[in-house]
């Protein structure tokens, strides 16, 4: 237990075709639930889970696409301040794999240069329907210098590992670039109330 | 990324993803309306968009191309008895005109060239050839032509080494960024089509905060306000710290300025006496002197010489209210550019179930003849989609159906990529708002925003400069005189110290403020949103979105805060999302009685702790003495009584 | 409407929060108990570090735990090698950083940080400085941080000019900050000391030269720098004339040099066989090594202050052994040595004279060119001009008025007397809360002016009637006065300091509100006391007069005391020497 909320806060963003199980991965990880029920994730911007890694509290803010991928209409701003990207496809759906280069183009265009990207093949519980061979995906990931993992949100295979691995990697990077992280942009909502004109008369 | 079919029934269909439409979309979706939000373009935000460098080049090209002839498809088979179709426009190119592009930097890197070839002067000889017909020029061609001109110039320079050239050689030669580099680093640019700033207490910032949409973006302070005066760029002191630090103002001016600003805050009889008379007159009568008068009129109130006093004072007050909330100036700017803002609202709409579809348009509006209400829309693929309300950006509405001010008002815009700040300072990461009063009678006042690379809108080593004014002539006619004066271009003279323009774009855009609120020849449940206006803030767009929302849902709250993820109840679970299962169990085991006892015990212990702490206080007290010494020292300074 | 998000009710949220809090409290209490028991058992292990860390991160003001933590760390120092210790302390610093993030004003955290920094084998002072800068940029008045920063600067030997740059930055971002201005006032004399020969212009000390040591500096700043500072501070008070901190700094800048420590006057009286000595500042004569030499012979005398109330006093007296100087035909040479300060003053008592003195007059010393001065008149004159300019714009600004008064006094106290009085009048009106203070200050200036006038006239009569005096001061300057006229003022008492008027013969103080005569005490020459229309109400109030042996004439008309029963006989008993009593 620590009274302090966290030592690190990372924003993780999921992308990939509709129906590959992005939301299931998130809810499996953050809530331990599957299936996540019929009611979609309306109103859910992101999910939070705090994990502990080597004694440090890491708060993971996991963002989902909000369905904008359905008609290939994800906003650029979605990628902007992500620390990590989880690029997901469905191993039982060749099409979802073939779309990956398109997704990579978006990443290159809009995401931060230092973003950590991991390729995830989901639905390994449906091994009998596999359309994308593991080796093919591994090769692809390696060529794009991404990490690679196969998961099952349903069976909870590798889901924990996926996020913990990412967290470790992000901590490692954060420690390397510690100095760059001190940038503090003002956020609406936390405005200071300094009166600039005079000590007493304004505001 | 397979495309599926769209659902065929919505509460609200919105066409266009500009700021107004996006805010409206978010507001509708937030209160449970089923929203379909589409845009004909392949990018978000329409005329509010920002582009990477190559994205902008594509955009320019699109606007150079002849618009495809609009062939109205025959959707009559989709209509029912008593219905008619209002066709929507395919092309909104009409809102952009007079595009002109210039490239003043070399095409390629020149690694082999001698270090003294500072390609700073690109020569006046090329002026004519460059300006002529540049509308039709491919940017690349401009670059090539430029290259040749530059080489000629070099020869000249070598022959007669002018004193200034010699001087320049002695300085460490900064290599000018080439066009190739701009292209290569193109994704580091986020070039806005509109240039606005966010007043830190303006309606946009208030809405971002209220709705929690602010969490989708980051913002930077505008760090300084500049003005152009007597052929010089000066910093306008506006905050207390600025006034204190200003070197241009005498101490008496400092006092007068501070006093004036303080006295503005409240409305007085004295001020009311000037209602209807020019603000300039009011300022003159305050005997502030030319310096302060200029600052107050052009940079703080940002009004013209004939603006009435009450209006001038109102803008001054707005400026002052916004000052100091987040920084030293009243303005914020979104990191990655203004194009982010509409997208953020779209994200919120999507989070609450709104469906998004770019590259998808609405071809026509199905109107019920009897009620003159829109029943459905026909999308560009010929799908009939039922809706109760239709919100549309004005660009899609044919000219004969909308009411706009005549003659059509335009904004003149220029976008420059430069190699230095117009007022270099200790930091090269300044975000500057620059007011340029009319440089001659009849010329428009120009608002200029200079962005540095940390706003993520331009590559390191460059600045992105936006100029905006109400059109008098074409954008080039309106703005190039200002550009020539304040920057080094082939047309400028003796501007050794000014930053060079590497690349620039001029264009005109329809002024959204020309659209009338009412009176369009459209069904009553079709709502038209205007494009960007010329004001610095975002008041018009937010006001418009809110008023559309209130027309449709007068009882509902406009963009209430999105809930925290922790507070949302998910289907099929009643537990909190943060607590794990095991801990939950433990909690449930606790009997109320037991809890009570526990609490009492705790209180006793808390007391014990306090005693302990008291003991420690002694130690502290010792240290306090030291502090007190410090205080005394300070008082020493204060008084020698 | 469908599609609405289901949100927990406020009650649900509250309940969750309550549970959360409860859970935290439970953990907190358990950890705290564990800590206490461990400490009792003298266990200094990693677990204890963990536990205290948990607790302190939620409550950094828990001093006991910091102490325990220090014990543990000190223990670890003895069992680990240097590298390990370095690591432990570095971890400690980053832990402290998180504590400070939560509460940047926690005394415990800052204090502990100071302790850790001092023990860190290889400290990184630059990092500490930047931490302070970050904290101060959030709150430039964070006292604890200022304290800690001072320590860091001292330990790491940050160059003075760099520190001055630091104050530049702070003042630039917000000049309403005493701490920054004050810090500046301590740095400037080090960086730009007043040059030893006043006429030579000050040069920036070359960067290679070692920083001036604190021992050699005066508190003054060379003129060139001073002018820059005037400009800086004027920018501040013109921008915001209601900001006190700038005005205080301005007054510090204008502040005069410290007065030289010296014996300002030696007075000897043949009749009383008494010596009185006045010093430039209050001293304790019994402990400063005061030596009286009479005609070459050191004397064993007993120094006493003029009133038993004073341990420190600017005036001390002693009685010579009976008969040593009583013969009027003898000439005597007297020297008083202030051995501690290696200074002395001679005084010759010539034949036929009953008294003699030797002194520097107030006019010689330019004593009352006030709290300000030593600067060239031209500089002060131009400062006065800018203040007048500001006053025109802000006629009711008290700080400006007060500064103008001080500048006028520095320039020409007598010449500006009229303006000064007028400004005081305005001050009392615009700042009525402090009108008593202004009254006292004005009294002080009027007394100073009167002293100057008296000295120019070379008389021993001090007359300051009808000037609204509310208080008396500078009484040490009146050691030689024989006749004082304080009539028609607003005095309420003759304070113990009044006993410094060792030569006083006539005291006129009619028409005041005097109720207390404490200072009319052992005045050996006092003959006449006129106290008509005052507020002396009891016989006891008159008691001090009994110590004045030569008192003959006393006017008490219009005092409540005259209504006392048997007043005449009572007085005759109390003051037997008085022959001329008016009631």
| DSSP secondary structure string for all residues of C114-126 | HHHHHH-SS--HH
pLDDT in the model for residue A112: 83
DSSP three-state, residue C367: coil
Kindly state whether A3 is in contact with chain C, defined as any CB-CB distance less than 8 angstroms.
yes
pLDDT at B596: 52
Cα–Cα distance between A73 and B42 in angstroms, integer? 8
Q: Flag whether residue B326 sits within 8 Å of chain C, measured between CB atoms.
A: no
Q: For the ranges C48-52, C219-223, C491-495, which has the lowest average pLDDT? A: C219-223
- Please tell me which residue of chain A has the smallest CA distance to C243: A199
Residue A186 lies in a domain: no
Total Cβ atoms within 10 A of residue B75: 16
Written as one string, the DSSP assignment of B114-163 is -TT--TT---STTHHHHHTTGGG--HHHHHHHHHHHHHHHHHHHHHS--H
Residue B589: count of CB within 10 angstroms of its CB: 7
Which DSSP helix (H) or strand (E) runs through C171?
Answer: helix C160-173
Which helix or strand (DSSP H or E) is residue B603 part of? helix B592-638
Domains C263-359 and C459-582 share a fold: no
For the stretch A53-97, pLDDT in tens is: 887 889 999 999 988 998 989 998 899 888 999 999 999 999 999
Given a cut of 50, is residue B550 above it in pLDDT?
yes
Please give the helix or strand (H or E) that residue C110 lies within, else none. helix C107-119
Please tell me the predicted confidence (pLDDT) of residue B586.
Answer: 39
Q: B 234-263 residues with CB below 8 A of C?
A: 240-241, 243-245, 251-252, 254-256, 258-259
Are B12 and B552 spatial neighbours (Cβ–Cβ below 8 Å)? Answer: yes
Strand partners, B526: B390
DSSP per-residue letters across C288-324: TTEEEEETTEEE---EEESSTT-SSEEEEEEEPPTTS
Q: DSSP string of C187-241?
A: HHHHHSBPPSSTTSPP-PPPTTSPPPPTTT--S-B-HHHHHHHHHHHHHHHHH-T
Asked if the model's pLDDT at residue B116 lies above 50, the reply is no
Mean pLDDT to the nearest integer, B31-41: 95
The residue among B197 and C133 whose pLDDT is bigger is B197
Residues of chain A with pLDDT under 50: 1-4, 38-39, 179-203
Confidence of residue C198 (pLDDT cuts 50, 70, 90): very low
Give all strands (DSSP E) within B369-483, no chain letters: 373-379, 384-393, 410-418, 432-436, 446-451, 463-470
pLDDT of residue A197: 32
The whole-number pLDDT of residue C365 equals 59
Q: Do A202 and B343 touch (CB under 8 A)?
A: no
Residues with Cβ within 8 Å of A156's Cβ and at least 6 positions away in sequence, in order, are: A28, A32, A34
> Which segment of B365-374, B446-455, C126-135 scores lowest on mean pLDDT?
C126-135
CATH of C263-359, one of 3.30.420.60, 3.20.20.60, 2.120.10.30, 2.60.40.1130: 2.60.40.1130
- Arithmetic mean of pLDDT, C89-116: 87
Domain ranges of chain C: 10-183, 229-255+368-438, 263-359, 459-582
Asked whether the beta carbons of B317 and A35 are under 8 A apart, the reply is no
| DSSP string for chain A | --SS--SEEEEEEEEE-TTSSHHHHHHHHHH--SS--SS--TT--EEEEEEEETTEEEEEEEE--TTTTTTT---GGGTTT-SEEEEEEETT-HHHHHTHHHHHHHHHHHS-TT-EEEEEEE-GGGGGG--S-HHHHHHHHHHTT-EEEE-BTTTTBSHHHHHHHHHHHHHHHHHHTGGGGG-----TT------SS-SSS--
- Residues in chain A, total: 203
| Res. C97 pLDDT band, cuts 50 70 90 | confident
Nearest CB among A30, A65, A69 relative to B577 is that of A30
Per-chain mean pLDDT for chain C: 86
Interface of A with C in 62-81 (CB under 8 A): none
Residue C325 — φ and ψ, nearest 5°? Answer: -130, 10
Q: Among A3-12, B569-578, C482-491, whose mean pLDDT is lowest?
A: B569-578
Is 90 exceeded by the pLDDT of residue C318? yes
Collapsing DSSP to helix, strand or coil, B527 comes out as strand
Percentage of chain C beyond pLDDT 70 is 91
Chains A, B: CB contacts under 8 A, how many? 170
A5 in contact with B, Cβ within 8 Å: no
Q: Among all residues of chain B, which has the CA nearest to that of C249?
A: B637
Residue C130, min C-alpha distance to chain A (Å):
12
- Provide the token pair at B140: 């690349």
pLDDT at C256: 57
Q: What is the pLDDT of residues C346-380, one digit of tens each?
A: 999 999 999 999 988 766 656 665 445 455 678 88
CA C266 to chain centre: 27
Nearest by CB to B637, which of C4, C22, C249?
Answer: C249
- The ipTM is 0.87
CATH of residue A149: 3.40.50.300
Asked which of B297-306, C59-68, C367-376, C408-417 is least confident by mean pLDDT, the reply is C367-376
Domain B9-95+337-405+515-565 architecture: 3-Layer(bba) Sandwich (3.50)
What are the tens digits of pLDDT across the range B384-397? 999 999 999 999 99
Total count of domains within chain A: 1
Q: Would you state the pLDDT for residue B606? A: 60
Binned at pLDDT 50, 70 and 90, residue B70 comes out as low
SS3 B104: coil
Most confident of B569-583, C140-154, C206-220: C140-154
Burial tier of C538 (Cβ tally within 10 Å: 0-12, 13-18, 19+): exposed
Q: Using pLDDT thresholds of 50, 70 and 90, give the confidence band for residue C3.
A: low
B339 pLDDT more than 50: yes
Q: Which helix (H) or strand (E) holds B575?
A: none
- pLDDT tens, residue by residue, C523-555: 999 999 999 999 999 999 999 999 999 999 999
- The yes/no answer on whether domain C10-183 falls in CATH 3.90.1640.10 is no
Q: Which of B204-218, B315-329, B455-469, C201-215 holds the top average pLDDT?
A: B455-469
Decide if B613 and C63 are in contact by the 8 Å CB cutoff.
yes
Q: Please tell me the predicted confidence (pLDDT) of residue B570.
A: 67
Omega into B129 within 30° of 0, i.e. cis?
Answer: no
CB atoms within 10 A of CB A151: 27
- Cβ neighbors of A32 (< 8 A, separation 6 or more) are A156, B580, B581
Per-residue tokens: A163: 């996020």
Where do we find the tokens 């609490």? B599
Q: Between these two residues, C182 and B571, which has the higher pLDDT value? A: C182
CATH superfamily of C459-582: Ribonuclease Inhibitor (3.80.10.10)
Q: Answer whether residue A185 is part of any domain.
A: no
Q: Are C53 and C62 in contact (CB under 8 A)?
A: no
Those residues with Cβ within 8 angstroms of residue A112's Cβ, 6 or more apart along the chain or in another chain: A79, A80, A81, A82, A83
Q: In what order do the strands lie in the sheet with A84-90?
A: A46-53, A56-63, A8-16, A84-90, A116-122, A147-150
pLDDT score recorded for residue B600: 58
- How many angstroms separate the CA atoms of B331 and B322, rounded? 7
Instruction: List the single residue in A with minimal CA-CA distance to C244.
Output: A199
Between residues B611 and B433, the one the model is more confident about: B433
CB hemisphere CA count around B373 (13 angstroms): 7
Q: Reply yes or no on whether the pLDDT at C439 is more than 90.
A: yes
Q: How confident is the model at residue B522 (pLDDT cuts 50, 70, 90)?
A: very high
Interchain pair C57, A198: CB under 8 A: no
- Domain coverage including residue A163: 6-177
B144 pLDDT above the threshold of 90: no
Taking residue C144's Cβ as centre, other Cβ atoms within 10 Å add up to 20
Homologous superfamily of B218-332 in CATH?
Answer: Guanine Nucleotide Dissociation Inhibitor, domain 1 (1.10.405.10)
pLDDT band at C441 (very low <50, low <70, confident <90, very high): very high
pTM over 0.80: no
Helix H or strand E encompassing C520: none
The H-or-E segment that residue C23 falls in is: helix C10-40
The DSSP line for B211-244 is HTGGGG--EEE--EEEEEETTEEEEPP-SHHHHH
Given this model, what pLDDT does residue C10 score?
A: 80
| Chain B residue numbers touching A34 (CB-CB < 8 A) | none
CB-neighbour burial class of residue C205 (10 A; exposed 0-12, middle 13-18, buried 19+): middle
Tokens of B155: 């020869």
Q: At what angle do helices C125-138 and C160-173 cross, to 10 degrees?
A: 20
Domain boundaries, chain B: 9-95+337-405+515-565, 218-332
For residue B332, the surrounding DSSP H or E stretch is strand B331-334
Cis peptide before C234 (omega within 30 of 0): no
Residue of chain C minimizing CA distance to B627: C147
Please give the pLDDT value at position B627.
54
Tell me if A193 is assigned to some domain: no
Residue B618 — very low, low, confident or very high, per pLDDT cuts 50/70/90?
A: very low
Task: Compute how many other C-beta atoms are within 10 angstroms of the C-beta atom of residue C517.
Answer: 22
Local confidence band at C64 (pLDDT 50, 70, 90 cut-offs)? confident
Per DSSP, the three-state class of B376 is: strand
Distances (CA, A) of C280 to B211, B224, B544, C473, C476: 71, 54, 78, 14, 9
CATH class of the C229-255+368-438 domain in this structure:
mainly alpha
Question: What pLDDT, on a 0 to 100 scale, did the predictor assign at position C219?
Answer: 61
Helix axis angle for B309-322 and B251-264, nearest 10°, is 100
Q: Is B568 on the interface with C (CB under 8 A)?
A: yes
CB B218 within 8 Å of CB B208: no
Q: Does A35 touch chain B (CB under 8 A)?
A: no
pLDDT of residue C267: 95
Tell me the C-alpha distance between C250 and C245, whole Å: 9
Name the residue among A42, A69, A194 with its Cβ closest to that of B1.
A69
C-beta separation of C54 from A1 below 8 A: yes
Q: How confident is the model at residue B315 (pLDDT cuts 50, 70, 90)?
A: very high
Name the one residue in this structure whose structure tokens are 């000295």: C455
């Amino acid at each position: 237990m620590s009274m302090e909320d966290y030592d690190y806060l990372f924003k993780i963003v999921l992308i990939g075709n509709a129906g590959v199980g992005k939301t299931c991965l998130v809810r499996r990880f953050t809530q331990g639930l599957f299936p996540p029920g019929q009611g979609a994730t309306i109103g859910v911007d992101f999910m939070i889970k705090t994990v502990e890694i080597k004694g440090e509290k890491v708060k993971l803010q996991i963002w989902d696409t909000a369905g904008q991928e359905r008609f290939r209409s994800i906003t650029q701003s979605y990628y902007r301040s992500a620390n990590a990207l989880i690029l997901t496809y469905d191993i039982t759906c060749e099409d979802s794999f073939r779309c990956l280069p398109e997704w990579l183009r978006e990443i290159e265009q809009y995401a931060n240069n230092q973003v950590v990207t991991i390729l995830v093949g989901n639905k390994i519980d449906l091994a009998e329907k596999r359309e994308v061979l593991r080796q093919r995906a591994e090769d692809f990931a390696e060529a794009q210098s991404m990490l690679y993992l196969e998961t099952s949100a349903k069976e909870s295979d590798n889901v924990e590992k996926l996020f913990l691995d990412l967290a470790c990697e992000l901590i490692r990077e954060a420690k390397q670039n510690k100095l760059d992280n001190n940038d503090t942009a003002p956020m609406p909502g936390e405005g200071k109330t300094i009166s600039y004109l005079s000590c007493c008369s304004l505001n | 990324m397979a495309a599926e079919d769209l659902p065929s029934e919505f509460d609200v269909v919105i066409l266009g993803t500009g700021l107004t439409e996006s805010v409206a979309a978010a507001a509708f979706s937030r209160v449970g309306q089923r929203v379909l939000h589409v845009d004909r373009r392949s990018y978000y935000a329409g005329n509010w968009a920002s582009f990477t460098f190559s994205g902008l080049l594509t955009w320019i090209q699109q606007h150079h191309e002849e618009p495809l002839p609009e062939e109205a498809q025959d959707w009559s088979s989709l209509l029912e008895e008593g219905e008619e179709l209002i066709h929507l426009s395919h092309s909104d190119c009409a809102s952009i005109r007079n595009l002109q592009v210039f490239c003043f930097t070399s095409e390629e890197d020149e690694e082999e060239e001698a270090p003294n070839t500072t390609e700073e002067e690109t020569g006046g000889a090329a002026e004519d050839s460059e300006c002529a017909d540049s509308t039709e020029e491919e940017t690349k061609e401009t670059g090539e032509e430029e290259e040749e001109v530059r080489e000629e110039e070099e020869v000249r320079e070598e022959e007669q080494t002018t004193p200034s050239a010699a001087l320049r050689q002695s300085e460490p030669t900064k290599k000018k960024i080439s066009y190739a580099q701009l292209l290569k680093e193109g994704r580091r640019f986020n070039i806005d089509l509109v240039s606005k700033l966010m007043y830190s207490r303006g309606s946009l910032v208030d809405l971002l905060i209220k709705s929690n949409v602010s969490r989708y973006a980051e913002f930077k302070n505008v760090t300084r306000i500049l003005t152009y005066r007597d052929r010089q760029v000066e910093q306008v002191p506006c905050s207390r710290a600025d006034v204190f630090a200003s070197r241009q103002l005498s101490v008496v001016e400092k006092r007068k300025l501070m006093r004036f600003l303080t006295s503005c805050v409240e409305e007085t009889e004295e001020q009311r006496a000037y209602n209807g008379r020019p603000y300039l007159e009011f300022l003159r009568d305050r005997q502030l002197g030319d310096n302060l008068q200029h600052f107050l009129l052009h940079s703080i109130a940002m009004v013209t010489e004939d603006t009435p006093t009450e209006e001038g004072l109102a803008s001054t007050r707005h400026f002052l209210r916004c000052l100091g909330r987040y920084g030293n100036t009243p303005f914020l700017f979104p990191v990655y550019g203004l194009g982010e803002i509409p997208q953020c609202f779209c994200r919120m709409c999507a989070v609450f179930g709104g469906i998004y579809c770019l590259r998808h348009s609405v071809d026509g509006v199905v109107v019920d003849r009897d009620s003159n209400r829109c029943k459905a829309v026909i999308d560009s693929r010929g799908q009939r989609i039922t809706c109760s309300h239709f919100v549309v950006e004005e660009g899609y509405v044919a000219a004969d159906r909308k009411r706009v001010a005549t003659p059509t008002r335009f904004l003149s815009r220029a976008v420059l990529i430069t190699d230095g700040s117009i007022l270099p300072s200790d930091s090269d990461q300044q975000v500057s708002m620059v007011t340029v009063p009319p440089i001659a009678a009849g010329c428009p006042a120009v608002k200029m925003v200079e962005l540095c690379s940390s706003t993520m809108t331009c590559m390191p080593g460059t600045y992105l400069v936006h100029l905006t004014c109400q059109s008098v002539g074409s954008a080039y006619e309106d703005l190039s005189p200002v550009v020539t004066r304040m920057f080094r271009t082939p047309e400028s003279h003796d501007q050794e110290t000014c930053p060079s323009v590497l690349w620039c774009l001029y264009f005109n855009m329809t002024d959204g403020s020309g659209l009338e609120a009412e009176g369009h020849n459209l069904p009553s449940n079709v709502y038209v949103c205007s494009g960007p206006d010329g004001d610095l803030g975002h008041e018009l767009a937010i006001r418009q979105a809110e008023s559309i929302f209130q027309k449709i849902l007068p009882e509902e709250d406009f963009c209430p805060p999105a809930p925290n993820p922790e507070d949302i109840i998910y289907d099929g679970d009643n537990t909190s999302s943060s607590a794990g299962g095991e801990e939950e169990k433990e909690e449930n085991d606790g009997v109320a009685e037991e809890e009570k006892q526990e609490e009492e015990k705790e209180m006793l212990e808390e007391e014990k702790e306090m005693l302990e702490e008291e003991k420690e206080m002694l130690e502290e007290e010792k240290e306090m003495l030291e502090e007190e010494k410090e205080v005394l020292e300070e008082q020493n300074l204060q008084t020698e009584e | 409407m469908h599609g609405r998000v289901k949100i927990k009710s406020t009650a649900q949220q509250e309940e969750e929060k309550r549970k959360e809090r409860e859970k935290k409290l439970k953990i907190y209490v358990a950890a705290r108990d564990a800590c206490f028991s461990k400490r009792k058992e003298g266990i200094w292990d990693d677990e204890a570090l963990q536990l205290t860390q948990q607790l302190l991160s939620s409550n950094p003001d828990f001093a006991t735990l910091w102490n325990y933590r220090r014990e543990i760390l000190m223990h670890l120092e003895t069992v680990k090698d240097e590298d390990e210790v370095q690591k432990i302390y570095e971890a400690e610093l980053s832990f402290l950083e998180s504590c400070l993030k939560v509460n940047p004003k926690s005394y415990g955290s800052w204090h502990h940080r100071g302790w850790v920094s001092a023990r860190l084998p290889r400290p990184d002072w630059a990092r500490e400085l930047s931490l302070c800068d970050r904290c101060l940029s959030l709150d430039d008045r964070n006292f604890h941080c200022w304290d800690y920063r001072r320590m860091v600067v001292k330990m790491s030997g940050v160059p003075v000019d760099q520190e001055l740059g630091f104050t530049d930055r702070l003042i630039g971002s917000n000049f309403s900050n005493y701490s920054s201005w004050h810090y500046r006032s301590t740095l400037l004399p080090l960086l730009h000391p007043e040059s030893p020969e006043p006429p030579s212009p000050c040069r920036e000390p070359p960067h290679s030269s070692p920083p001036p040591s604190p021992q050699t500096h005066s508190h003054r700043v060379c003129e060139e720098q001073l002018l820059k500072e005037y400009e800086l501070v004027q920018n501040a008070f013109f921008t915001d004339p209601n900001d006190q901190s700038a005005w205080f700094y301005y007054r510090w800048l204008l502040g005069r040099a410290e007065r030289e420590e010296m014996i300002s006057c030696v007075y000897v009286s043949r009749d009383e066989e008494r010596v009185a000595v006045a010093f430039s500042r209050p001293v304790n004569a019994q402990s400063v090594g005061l030596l009286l030499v009479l005609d070459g012979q050191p004397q064993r005398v007993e120094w006493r202050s003029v009133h038993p109330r004073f341990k420190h006093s600017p005036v001390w007296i002693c009685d010579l052994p009976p008969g040593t100087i009583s013969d009027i035909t003898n000439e005597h040479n007297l020297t008083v040595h202030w051995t501690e300060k290696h200074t002395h003053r001679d005084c010759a008592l010539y034949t036929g004279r009953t008294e003699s003195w030797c002194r520097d007059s107030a006019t010689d010393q330019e004593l009352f060119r006030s709290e300000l001065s030593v600067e060239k008149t031209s500089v002060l004159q131009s400062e006065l001009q800018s203040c007048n300019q500001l006053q025109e714009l802000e006629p009711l600004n008290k700080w400006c008025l007060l500064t103008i008064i001080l500048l006028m006094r520095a320039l020409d106290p007598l010449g500006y007397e009229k303006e000064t009085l007028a400004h005081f009048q305005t001050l009392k009106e615009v700042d009525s809360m402090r009108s008593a203070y202004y009254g006292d200050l004005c009294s002080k200036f009027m007394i100073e002016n009167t002293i100057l006038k008296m000295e120019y006239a070379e008389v021993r009569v001090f007359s300051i009637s009808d000037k609204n005096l509310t208080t008396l001061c500078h009484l040490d300057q009146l050691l030689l006065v024989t006749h004082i006229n304080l009539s028609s003022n607003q005095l309420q008492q003759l304070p113990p300091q009044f006993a410094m008027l060792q030569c006083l013969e006539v005291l006129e103080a009619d028409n005041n509100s005097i109720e207390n005569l404490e200072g009319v005490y052992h005045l050996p020459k006092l003959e006449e006391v006129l106290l008509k229309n005052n507020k002396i109400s009891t016989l006891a109030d008159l008691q001090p007069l009994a110590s004045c042996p030569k008192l003959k004439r006393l006017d008490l008309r219009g005092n409540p005391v005259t209504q006392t029963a048997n007043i005449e006989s009572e007085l005759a008993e109390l003051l037997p020497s008085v022959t001329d009593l008016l009631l």
